[in-house]
Structure 1
Amino acid sequence: MAEHVIVPLDFKFDFSTTNLAVGANARVGNAAAYTLACENMTYSTPLTIPSEGFGEIAGLEIFPGVVGGVKEHADYVKLVIGGQSFDDQIFNELTAPGLSPGVPDSLGAAGLRLGQMPTNFGLPLLLGGRPEDCAPKVPPGKPIEVEIGCPPASEGGVALTQPWTVRVWMVKVQGVNKLKEALRFQSTYTGQGYYDGNVMSCDFDLGDIASTEKMPLRSRMTGNPIRNPIPETGTFDPLEHWSKLPGGMDQDKPKMHVYSMFAKQMSATTTNEWYQFVLHSSKVQDKYAELYWDFTKRDALKITHIGFKNPAVGVIKNLWLKRTGREVPETYEVQWAKNPFPMPANRDPTALSYCGPAKLAKPMLIWNEIGSIEMKDNGTSVTPWALASPDQAGVYVRGIRYEHNDREV
């Protein structure tokens, strides 16, 4: 029977029964206490979409454990499809809070929720989204998993000992013909015209009017977008090409996916100097968390949302959205009372956040240039994340990551 439904998938990790040790990670099935609840069933294995079933992931939200009036902290929560994931697409309890009564909907205020469903992975095509929204694609026969990592001791990590739930929202269609029908309908209804029944046109715009000297503005309006037909030759076959669409794990270049990263301050700041989130000198937790990008014309990152986490101890005064060669530096005061980039949630459950991450009025595009996000203290050094200070400064960045082919650039 053909169907078109929205399905919440509750990945339940009862860490009160089976703790998650410092530096370890967990998936459903690793222990009897780690299960998946969906469609009135409970599973001890990942969910696999049946033959001729197709899924699109809209978002995820996290309901963490609480110990001593403080939310437990995960190093990362990531989506895994068919054993594959994007290393620069991770979340935690601060960046993807769950919707619950009595708590402000910070993601909704930031434009990252549709009704009750978060869209921090991207608005699905099957619900009227654009190809460039990059909602992850789940092809038939591929399992859907969630992995939670506990921070290492170097980041102040302590074992997770309370129940966690990670809710993943999926749009599911059963049947090749029903999928094609839904795509044709949304393509026409939204006026986007990306699917004519033969080829999926995943062309996209890219460029910054402020820096056309470095890289010409590529736009549909001028008839010169970056071309991305799927397939390049022949007819779109969902069984073969669904996971090759933007957000999918099997894309050919040009390819794109949602970038989602929380970078931690892992070294003490040097007073009155700009702090770079780079792995050099151990200033960030790992290579993928670097907020420094040296891109050629073959790579780009369009940052759409930013959240800044104030340190529990010390004061960070300024945040700089830096790009080389720009005449006007984009700097902001980010002390607690003035921070224009609120985080979606705080470690203290009673410290409510009403909006976050903040949507940038103009996306920060880094393409064929060097870009970074840097911060500066108020004249007093700020201590890093550590066992004695496990709640310090950090920056959350969300956007779209692009990898181009030589033909289009």
Structure 2
Amino acid sequence: MSLTVHAPDAPPVSPGAATSLLDAYRPATDRFLATPRRTLLGRGTTAEVPHADGPLPHRVRQVLDALRKPGAPAPVVVGSLPFTPDAPPSLAVPDVVHWAPPLRQDPLIALPVPRDGERPEWRVREVPAARRYGEAVAAAVARMRTGEFDKVVLARTLELTSEHAPDLPAMLRALAHRDPEGYTFAVPSGPGRTLIGASPELLVARESGRLTANPLAGSAPRSTDLAEDVRRAVALLESPKDLHEHAVVVTAVREALAPFCTRLEVPERPTLVRTATMWHLSTTVTGELADPDTTALDLASALHPTPAVCGTPTDVARAVIAESEPFDRGPYTGMVGWQDADGDGEWVVTIRCAEADGRRLRLFAGAGVVAESSPAAETAETAAKFRTFLHAVGATL
């Protein structure tokens, strides 16, 4: 099959253009990504980015340059990168790439999600159990209070199994309809595996020499009671613990991006971002690139992993994660996104996600742990974050 790429800046076609790509998604062969800027569906595989020594952005550039044709739109690579930088990527250039306006601009996204048949019965196993997770948080807090490190993000998983393989297109539609303002994705993550989720967090985007990053850190679960929901939002904006956690991340983002920029704008105070289940402290960082050859993946690689998904200092936090988490994160807290041969692209932090493998779904959620953290509060935060995906699959914790 020949490579066909439709321009990402194509004008809106009609209502339903974005939801038609969502409805057209098929597992295994397709790569779907919806962002607040655009909707993308890639079909088939023209080339894969190899796992090898040397910088990943350079390998991506080589693959894309080899496929570039005079007068044709720039080819695009789509996929995910794992939390561990030297683990194999899951990046490919699709045979065909279709673009549409954002899902949030499609009026059909407000329609109810059709349900096809009965939802499966899920067996749920916590890894680690909530009590064990709380003990790991307490141990990390004790070490931080002695000055060993400043922050670590500790995660846990839910392993869901059923008698039948999950309906991934139905899950993707449920996630997208629940939060069309966010970043919804479904991409192959390995042989027989699919990474699927709805992240609220942009790692970095590059467009025509301009970058945007949107670090999130500091969270609170939402409430179905309006007055209580507002109280929680205000409390988050005034929380010394959460403001400190957020400031650590923003400082790291500023320091990572400044060498690439002639100008970098970082607001002094965070604002709030909401999803269906959570409030987050948010800062939008913008800048102008000094070198036009700097790509979106160059920037993403310089940022990853931020303290929002790992901790600080990074090396110590990685070691604590390895000691504390009884599982391999795989693609969780890595990044998912796209980049074209001109260097433009969007890379999203891979959170609020699951990895599907046969009849199993593995869900992930984490919390930022600092010296002021409470084991009970961080455990409750992970439970709240699980709700995004549990709602989409019809399961409960």
Q: TM-score, normalised by structure 1?
A: 0.29
Greater helix fraction, Structure 1 or Structure 2: 2
The structure having more radius of gyration, on CA atoms, is 1
TM-score (norm: length of structure 2): 0.29
